[in-house]
Chains A and B, each alone.
Chain A
Amino acid sequence: MPSVAPQQVARTPFTADMRTQEQVWVRAALKGDRTAFMSIVEAYQRPVFNLCYRMLGDGVEAEDAAQETFIRAYTKLSTYNPGHKFSSWLFSIASHYCIDRIRQRRYHMVSWDELPPWQSPATNEPEPEQAALAREARDRLHQLLNSLQPDYRAAVILRYWHDMPYEEIAETLDTTVSAIKSRLFRARQMMAETARQADKDGKGSEEDE
């Protein structure tokens, strides 16, 4: 059964009020209030799932990773330092879990080439040309992301999808700002090269035909 891409929804940015509310929930959850913790889950399920999905490239694996992230957050909530952003702490758990998971794939000798390609939701109705083009662009972008090593990929995802400044990405990925600058630069350079190569190969095969 091929993996199916999950539903894509518009981003909803976090407001200052939400951040204040989040601290109230965290304090209550620390006292053992499960309902407060589930409110945190409700607020963060989408961004955490999105991060896992972009990292792993599969909806089923992303669901499992996102759930594991929240279980880890629940069990390690006492280690959270309220002086830092809660979202960074949560994304840190998710990123590290996904990076480990990708490394485990390598341990099982499954190469990137063998992984199933990114799949978009299948429909029986014929797609308008514009939608098909958009889907093609999205698949291409995901393939570019897939070509990166996991810690580079995490930096790119946190930068673009989660609008994080360099300092926050560094905190989330437990590294320095200069390392993040370097990762983003290398990632962009590698993806540009991959795209250029793909274009060249595409043109070459068209000429052969």
Chain B
Amino acid sequence: MEKEVKRMNESLEKREQDQQNRPERRTGQAETGEDAMRHDSYIEQISLWLDNELSPAEASQLQAHLAQCPVCRQSQQAMVHLDGMFRQAASLMAAPLPGFGQRLEIRLAHYHPASRRRLLFGMSVLLLGTLALALLGGLLAGLVLFTTGSSLLDVALIAEGLENLFQFINAAAAWFNLGSLFFKASLLTMGQPLFWVCALAVLAAVGLWLRLLNSLNRRPAATVELLI
């Protein structure tokens, strides 16, 4: 790359001398917006040229332009200089302190990505297991009582149990009715603009509080460095 740059610069200097010798050379003309755009497009080409992204035809077209444009040539020289600096610096990689893997393993040990999934799975297994056990236990108990003709299979007792069950269903129905009434009342209230004003005000207040708490709890890394 360095050789190529050198070759290009030599060629440019030669062309520049040729240009200077020409009597019709244009000088002292004010740069227009159109010129600036044209420079930008060539400077973009210089960037592509540095990355070897130009075809030979495009590269020679750029070279021809650079030979007659001091503005673009100045940009090219600055960019080539920068490119050299970066290429030199990029020959070295920043390395972490020894033990990076061990430190990561410690962090990973405290991090259980599948824990939530596992917890859900465990809960489901537990729930299904409990239900299955209850069902099995009930069936077994009923079977034992039925086969032994136990006095526990008292008709009056069963009737009382059924009555209790019906009472419970009744109470549940009453609560359900109450709930649906509350829901209807809520729907009516939501029709009022004042409700929405209040709701939005509460939401905004909660949001502001959360943001404040968040900014107080967050460790501002850069600021900490400044303080230390």
Contact = CB atoms under 8 A, between A and B. Distances in A.
Give chain B's interface secondary structure class: helix
B143 to A, nearest CB: 44
A8 B95 CA distance: 6
Contacts of A188: 47, 50, 79, 82-83
Contacts of B212: none
A10 B104 contact: no
A5 interface: yes
B22 to A, nearest CB: 29
A160 B96 CA distance: 19
A110 B222 contact: yes
A63 B101 contact: no
Contacts of B223: 108, 110
A8 B51 contact: no
Interface residues of B, number: 43
Interface in A1-34: 1, 3, 5-11, 34
Interface string A63-84: 1101100110011000000000
B213 interface: no
A46 interface: yes
A200 interface: no
A195 B78 contact: yes
B221 interface: yes
Given A138-B89, A185-B47, A191 B82 contact: yes
A105 B221 contact: yes
Contacts of B43: 185, 189
A138 B48 CA distance: 24
B96 A192 contact: no
A192 B226 contact: no
B96 A115 contact: no
Contacts of B88: 137
A3 B91 CA distance: 22
B226 A114 contact: yes
A6 B48 contact: no
A71 B107 contact: yes
B103 A192 contact: no
Contacts of B87: 160
Interface in B36-66: 43-44, 47-48, 50-51, 53
Given A137-B85, A166-B51, A116 B93 contact: no
A161 B85 CA distance: 12
B91 A49 contact: no
A35 to B, nearest CB: 10
A67 B107 contact: yes
A100 to B, nearest CB: 12
Nearest to B43: A189
B226 A181 contact: no
Given A41-B101, A74-B113, A7 B95 contact: yes
Contacts of B221: 58, 61, 64, 101, 105
A156 interface: yes
A25 to B, nearest CB: 13
A5 B93 contact: no
B118 to A, nearest CB: 13
29 contacts: A9-B92, A11-B93, A38-B105, A45-B96, A45-B100, A47-B93, A49-B96, A59-B94, A64-B221, A67-B100, A71-B111, A75-B111, A75-B113, A105-B220, A105-B221, A108-B218, A108-B222, A110-B226, A116-B225, A116-B226, A144-B82, A156-B86, A181-B44, A184-B47, A185-B47, A185-B48, A189-B75, A189-B79, A195-B82
Given A64-B221, A71-B107, 14 more contacts: A9-B95, A11-B92, A62-B96, A66-B100, A74-B113, A75-B113, A105-B222, A114-B226, A116-B225, A137-B89, A141-B86, A144-B82, A188-B83, A195-B82
